[in-house]
């Protein structure tokens, strides 16, 4: 784990994520709730811009939330190099409506020298699961410092 990056994320707990190198993270405007070497938790409020024509959370946006929280968690758990998603397997289990608050938590299942495996879950305040995902992240040759971390 890169201590400098960990400390940057720790200092943002309770804050809106609007100053990330990832424009997608900034657009989602989540609030960072928890950070550790193996977990990251972010909350989001569903807005109209996140919804499909039926006014429920768009599956693509749910997938974006899952992917971005996994990505944040992976940056924290990485030592020096950026890792990139090589897959994202998502199950959509229930809907979320405009105004609902969602909690997204990524958990590191296996850390390897070149590949990390993550699980991530989106839950409503009631505890009901909206979506869950698994993802594998592959080490690249891009240094974290070169992309703004």
Q: What is the mean pLDDT of residues 42-69?
A: 97
Burial of 76 (0-12, 13-18, 19+ CB in 10 A): buried
Number of domains within the chain? 1
pLDDT confidence of residue 130: 98
Which residue range(s) make up the domain with 22? Answer: 3-147
> Tell me: the pLDDT tens digits for 93-143?
999 999 999 999 999 999 999 999 999 999 999 999 999 999 999 999 988
What CATH number has the domain bearing residue 130?
3.10.129.10
- Is residue 109 within 8 Å of 146, Cβ to Cβ? no
This prediction has a pTM of 0.92
Helix (H, G, I), strand (E, B) or coil at 103: strand
């Amino acid at each position: 784990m890169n201590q400098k990056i960990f400390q940057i994320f720790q200092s943002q707990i309770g804050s809106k994520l609007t100053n990330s190198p990832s424009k997608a993270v900034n657009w989602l405007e989540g609030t960072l709730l928890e950070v550790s070497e193996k977990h990251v938790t972010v909350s989001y409020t569903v807005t109209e811009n996140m919804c499909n024509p039926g006014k429920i959370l768009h599956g693509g946006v749910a997938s974006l939330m899952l992917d971005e929280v996994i990505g944040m968690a992976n940056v924290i758990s990485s030592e020096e190099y950026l890792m990139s998603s090589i897959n994202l397997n998502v199950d959509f289990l229930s809907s979320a409506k405009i105004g609902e608050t969602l909690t997204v938590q990524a958990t590191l299942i296996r850390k390897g020298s070149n590949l990390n495996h993550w699980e991530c879950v989106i839950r409503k305040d009631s505890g009901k699961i909206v979506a869950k995902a698994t993802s594998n992240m592959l080490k690249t040759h891009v240094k974290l410092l070169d992309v703004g971390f």
